[in-house]
């Protein structure tokens, strides 16, 4: 007997209020889901989401959603094997910048748009993991200076805000939903730096003074969609969806409540507004995302494909536990959270066999993720005179996996290839990357632990 998905909510009177840059699976399982819950309660009619695609490859998502009236199927897969499906209806349109760049800028300039939210990956902010500064030498960034229709995310946001300023329209809120500590602060630094580079009319100072950049913590394990997921939706729920989303039942969203032009009442459907999100974000990035890095490279080295498989390997879980011990010691108290219980819950979530999240997804863009999720804690421990052998081991498993010939998608592929070649001569030379490792390359205990783990992995 075919199960049934919850139908699309009533969208009568739903108008755009949010432009979201980076409509991928996570956005659709998380922020779009929260808004859909509000729609089902009869609210948020002025907060429909318009997706914005900046990359050529985003055209496919726009095409699929348009063909499905901007709806899609979200399936939650619980660890006990139960499945629930919901037809999500919170997206009202998708625009594609490479196809129609003017439409994107006019969307951002529209008074109806009061929030521009982002899921552009950790590497999309073009900032150093050591200094936190925006890279103004990047070729794509330089190409956007003076361009009528910029292509980079901060070039596009700046151009939209510049039009609003000229027209006397109040600035929208920029709401980052990426896995970066202080993601709103990072977005502010990046946007102000680009504006200072590209405009000379006081625009950068206006952004710094007038635009809100609330920090947030977002969490929901959401794997990529493939033929297996499409078949599951078709066979279980009788729905032919070209791009459904599967995810775990757990979802969390903690955000700083700074939205000058208003926001949906997300707290009515489970999100948590707070004055300071930093403790929550630090906990999640180090314990969840850092543990993902702990399992990804060692798991792949040991022949595993999926997260739940790796969680059945004592060598992998031992590294995760040792990493969590190191990371937990760097965390401040988190209001309402019992850290040991949170750790146990993470282990249960990772072991869910129905999510089928791949280790390769977790290992993508490691040059952005390891510095942000792992090495920051190691640097803090070093400053306190504490060793970080688990962090060093995570970095070593990454280097060893690359040295084995495994290719991983990464925006810094050329730098990685050079670092791997250096490590073939002397493993410690892999650490000679200031933007990744900073002063850890000069910490004898960290270097020794890295070299030891690298050699063990390489046999």
Q: What is the pLDDT of residues 374-388, one digit of tens each?
A: 999 999 999 999 999
CA separation for the pair 61, 57 (Å, rounded): 8
pLDDT at 286: 98
CA separation for the pair 139, 141 (Å, rounded): 5
Domains of the chain in start order, with CATH, are 16-274 (3.40.50.720), 278-458 (1.10.1040.10)
**Residue 71 is inside which H or E element, if any?**
none
pLDDT in tens, 166-207: 999 999 999 999 999 999 999 999 999 999 999 998 999 999
Q: What are phi and psi of 230, to 5 degrees?
A: -65, -40
Cα torsion 299, 302, 303, 304 to 10°: value is: -30
Q: Does residue 395 surpass a pLDDT of 60?
A: yes
pLDDT band at 276 (very low <50, low <70, confident <90, very high): very high
Mean pLDDT of 380-402: 98
CA separation for the pair 426, 63 (Å, rounded): 49
Q: Does residue 2 surpass a pLDDT of 80?
A: no
Q: Does residue 1 surpass a pLDDT of 60?
A: no
Mean pLDDT of 123-135: 89
pLDDT at 131: 84
pLDDT at 130: 79
CA separation for the pair 368, 370 (Å, rounded): 6
- For the record, the structure tokens of 211 come out as 């635009």
pLDDT at 129: 80
pTM given for the model = 0.94
Cα torsion 430, 431, 436, 440 to 10°: value is: 170
Mean pLDDT of 405-423: 95
Ranges 5-19, 126-140, 213-227, 325-339: which has the least confidence: 126-140
The H helix count followed by the E strand count for the chain is 21, 11
Q: Where are the alpha helices (DSSP H) in 70-177?
A: 101-109, 139-144, 153-167
pLDDT band at 132 (very low <50, low <70, confident <90, very high): confident
CA separation for the pair 66, 100 (Å, rounded): 15
Helix %, strand %, coil % of the chain (to 5): 50, 15, 35
């Amino acid at each position: 007997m075919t199960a049934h998905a919850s139908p699309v909510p009533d969208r009568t009177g739903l108008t755009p209020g949010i432009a979201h840059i980076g409509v991928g699976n996570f956005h659709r399982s998380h922020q779009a889901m929260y808004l859909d819950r509000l729609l089902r309660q009869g609210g948020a009619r002025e907060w429909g989401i318009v997706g914005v695609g900046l990359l050529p490859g985003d055209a496919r998502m726009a095409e699929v959603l348009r063909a499905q009236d901007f709806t899609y199927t979200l399936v939650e897969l619980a660890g006990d094997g139960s499945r629930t499906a919901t037809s999500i209806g919170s997206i009202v349109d998708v625009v594609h910048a490479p196809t129609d760049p003017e439409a994107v800028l006019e969307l951002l300039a529209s008074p109806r748009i009061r929030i521009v939210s982002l899921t552009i990956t950790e590497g999309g902010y073009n900032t150093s993991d050591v200094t936190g500064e925006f890279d103004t030498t990047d070729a794509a960034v330089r190409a956007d200076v003076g361009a009528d229709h910029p292509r980079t995310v901060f070039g596009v946001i700046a151009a939209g805000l510049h039009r609003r300023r000229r027209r006397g329209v109040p600035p929208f809120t920029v709401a980052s939903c990426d896995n970066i500590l202080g993601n709103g602060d990072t977005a502010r630094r990046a946007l102000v730096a680009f504006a200072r580079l590209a405009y000379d009319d006081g625009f950068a100072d206006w952004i710094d003074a007038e635009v809100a950049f609330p920090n947030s913590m977002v969490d929901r394990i959401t794997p990529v969609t493939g033929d297996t997921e499409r078949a599951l939706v078709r066979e279980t729920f009788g729905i032919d969806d070209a791009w459904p989303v599967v995810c775990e039942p757990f979802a969390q969203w903690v955000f700083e409540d700074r939205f000058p032009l208003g926001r949906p009442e997300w707290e009515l459907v489970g999100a948590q507004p707070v004055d300071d999100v930093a403790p929550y974000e630090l906990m999640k990035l180090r314990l969840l995302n850092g543990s993902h890095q702990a399992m990804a490279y060692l798991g792949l080295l040991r022949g595993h494909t999926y997260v739940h498989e790796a969680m059945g390997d004592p060598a992998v879980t031992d590294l995760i536990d040792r990493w969590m011990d190191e990371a937990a010691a760097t965390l401040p108290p988190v209001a309402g959270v019992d850290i040991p219980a949170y750790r146990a819950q993470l282990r249960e979530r990772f072991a869910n066999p129905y999510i089928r999240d791949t280790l390769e997804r977790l290992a993508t863009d490691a040059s952005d993720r390891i510095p942000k999720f792992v090495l920051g804690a190691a640097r803090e421990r070093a400053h306190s005179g504490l060793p970080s052998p688990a962090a060093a081991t995570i970095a070593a498993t990454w280097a060893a996996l690359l040295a084995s010939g495994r290719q991983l998608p990464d925006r810094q592929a050329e730098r990685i290839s050079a670092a791997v070649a250096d490590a073939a001569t002397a493993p410690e030379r892999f650490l000679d990357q200031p933007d990744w490792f900073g002063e850890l390359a000069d910490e004898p205990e960290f270097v020794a632990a890295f070299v030891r783990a690298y050699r063990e992995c390489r046999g």
